[in-house]
Amino acid sequence: MNNWVAAPLLIPLFTAVILIFLHNKLMLQRWISLFSTLLNTAVAIGLLLRVHEDGIQTLNMSGWKPPYGIVLVADMFAVLLVLTASVVSACCLAYSFRGIDEQRERHYFYSLVHFMLAGVNGSFLTGDLFNLFVCFELMLMSSYALIVLGGTKRQFRETLHYILINVLSSTLFVASIAYLYGATGTLNMAHLSLRIAELGQSGPITAVAALLLVVFSVKAGLFLFFWLPGSYGAPPAAVSALFGALLTKVGMYALIRTFTLIFYHEAVVTHTLIGIMAVATIVLGGFGAVSQTNVNRILGYNVIASIGLISLALAVSNEHALTGAVFYLVHDMIAKALLFLLAGVLVAETGTERINRMGGVLLHSPLLAWMFLIASLSVVGLPPLSGFPGKLLIIQGSLESGSYIIAAAGVLLTLLLLYSLIKIFILGFWGDARKERNPEWKQPRKLLASSAPLMLIIVLLGLFAEPVLPYIQQASGALSDPSVYIQAVFKE
């Protein structure tokens, strides 16, 4: 029992409630929200060290022993993602001090962000399937409000699609929970894993697994991603960055958790299906990214493509691939947030989202240009940066298990992403400016300064991958051996 496990969920929740009452005091709101995310980061680091030393930490809510009550489980995988989410959200909040207009700030922007963070952290930490649904809904409700906040025509259109898709997938989520409860009589994930191991993963349970696969794929943007590029482009950059970094990754986390902990018996059916979806996602997402000329849509397709890569690792599910998946997931959250934030500066600077109307940004904002280049190269996976170790491990893992198509898809993805991002660089940053620049436009130093920590992490995570690797391996070790997780939940 460790009460700190609930802290990453409670801190944003209380902050959000406090901020509702302070919605007219802008400076106070900003500092409280920044302080809260930094506090959350500190708590996450504390938890990380604790989990590294003493193994998985659990908390039985209200003292109900599992499987009867809701249990929060902080294993290394969850804590790593909570830590990354806290760091990313701190940077996005610092960015939004300048990047979000005052009208939005007054209309509960910071509250909504913190409610969303509570949902995100809750989804990472919970050990109960229905609680996962509740945390998902908390996160999605706030994201509906965040995506439409501001109320432009484009936001309304995209939000309607976004809500409809998510409501449908949530409905199916509850349906699959109902089926699972009927089949096994429990919703605690560790207990579900035990029960299904006892009963054998029969046909009906595999069908429920496929239903859950559909649900989480919609949330993660794995194959069922048609809603994603439009929706993520509609809100301001700080919100897109939070969405691109956190929301799809929560879906991905749920996929990895359920298919390594609960439904790992019929890998021939489920994991093959995941592999097919992943390759399709990579091909469609990669070519989507290449074909677009709108910055935000290119980045949206980039989010989809990297979800495809992580799912490849899940389809293979051996130790190297899972280590790579965890590493890449952490890297991807940071890198995608950075790219969306920088794209926000780029769009503000040039006044257009279309790259063929940009040009010459390198001349007057060299810092932005170089930061964007480093972020792009890290997403692609160039060696000294953080994208490389994860990608290498995933491809190594897929070669070890003889899945050559999957390895080939991973390499193909690299080329497509490289092309799509360098296209932004060539058309947007090189050449002469196509348009008169806004003379009132000042150098966005504060915006760049708030995204700088993310870039620093990308570089450091790549250079010092060796010291980080034990943590990642602890996470993937627990993923490849479900009994570690189960014993930790039932030990008391």
Partner 1 sequence: MEVIAAVVVGILFAVGIYLILTQDLLRIVLGTSLMTHAVHLLLMAMAGLKGGAAPLLDRGKEEFADPLPQALILTSIVINFGITAFFLVLSYRAYQKLDTTDMDQLRSESSRHRGRSR
Residues that bind partner 1 in the complex, under the rule CB under 8 A: 130, 133-134, 137, 141, 144-145, 148, 151, 153-154, 156-160, 163-164, 167-168, 170-171, 174-175, 177-179, 181-182, 187, 230, 292-294, 297, 353-354
Residues 6+ apart with CB under 8 A from 114: 12, 13, 15, 16, 19, 33, 36
| Cα 375 versus chain centre, distance | 17
CB of residue 157 to partner 1, shortest distance in Å:
5
CB of residue 336 to partner 1, shortest distance in Å:
21
CB of residue 247 to partner 1, shortest distance in Å:
16
CB of residue 293 to partner 1, shortest distance in Å:
6
Partners of residue 354 on adjacent β-strands: 294
Cβ nearer to partner 1, comparing 164 with 276 = 164
**What is the spatial distance between Cα 469 and Cα 331, in angstroms, rounded to a whole number?**
13
H or E segment and range at residue 257? helix 248-261
Cβ nearer to partner 1, comparing 185 with 470 = 185
Distances from the Cα of 207 to the Cα of 170, 179, 236, 274, angstroms: 17, 10, 39, 14
Cβ nearer to partner 1, comparing 105 with 128 = 128
Nearest residue to 484 (alpha-carbon basis) of 190, 46, 116, 113: 190
Instruction: Give the Cα-Cα-Cα angle 310, 312, 313 (nearest 5 degrees).
Output: 70
Cβ nearer to partner 1, comparing 39 with 175 = 175
- Count the helices and strands in the chain (H runs, E runs): 22, 2
Cβ nearer to partner 1, comparing 160 with 199 = 160
Cβ nearer to partner 1, comparing 157 with 437 = 157
**What is the spatial distance between Cα 373 and Cα 295, in angstroms, rounded to a whole number?**
14
Cβ nearer to partner 1, comparing 65 with 364 = 65
CB of residue 391 to partner 1, shortest distance in Å:
30
Cβ–Cβ under 8 Å, residues 412 and 304: no
**What is the spatial distance between Cα 458 and Cα 377, in angstroms, rounded to a whole number?**
10
Cβ nearer to partner 1, comparing 292 with 386 = 292
Q: Can you give 170-228 as a three-state secondary structure string?
A: HHHHHHHHHHHHHHHCCCEHHHHHHHHHHHCCCHHHHHHHHHHHHHHHHHHCCCCCCCH
CB of residue 224 to partner 1, shortest distance in Å:
16
Cβ–Cβ under 8 Å, residues 320 and 393: yes
CB of residue 65 to partner 1, shortest distance in Å:
15
CB of residue 436 to partner 1, shortest distance in Å:
21
Question: 386 in helix, strand or coil?
Answer: coil
Cβ–Cβ under 8 Å, residues 243 and 232: yes
CB of residue 410 to partner 1, shortest distance in Å:
29
Cβ nearer to partner 1, comparing 75 with 158 = 158
H or E segment and range at residue 339? helix 319-350
CB of residue 171 to partner 1, shortest distance in Å:
5
**What is the spatial distance between Cα 318 and Cα 331, in angstroms, rounded to a whole number?**
20
Cβ nearer to partner 1, comparing 319 with 353 = 353
**C-alpha torsion sign, points 244, 403, 76, 486:** positive
